[in-house]
Amino acid sequence: MTEEEIGALAKGVAPFVRECVAQAVAISPELAQQVASAVRLLHESPPITERNPTAKIIRVERDNDGNFVPVYE
């Protein structure tokens, strides 16, 4: 999909989502906490970057926080 097609799709979906939210009933505190956690996770996630398709992973190391970090050629 092109950026224009994605933008048009988002503009078309937005009114539907607003309508659904407006008609939503109250949710349980447990579900509200899970939704809040999911939103926080989405905002804290690093941006998805396009990687070089010709680069190969030669090894995987761990950083100081224990996260896996791929090392490319």
Query: Residue 71 pLDDT > 80, yes or no?
Result: yes
What pLDDT is recorded for position 62?
Answer: 92
Residue spans of the domains in the chain: they are 3-72
Model pLDDT for residues 25-57, shown as the tens digit of each residue: 677 889 889 988 888 887 887 776 776 677 788
What pLDDT is recorded for position 55?
Answer: 77
Q: Confidence class of residue 61 from pLDDT cuts 50, 70 and 90?
A: very high
Indicate the pTM of the whole model: 0.33
Closest CA to 72 of 54, 49, 46: 54
Distance CA 60, CA 55 (A): 14
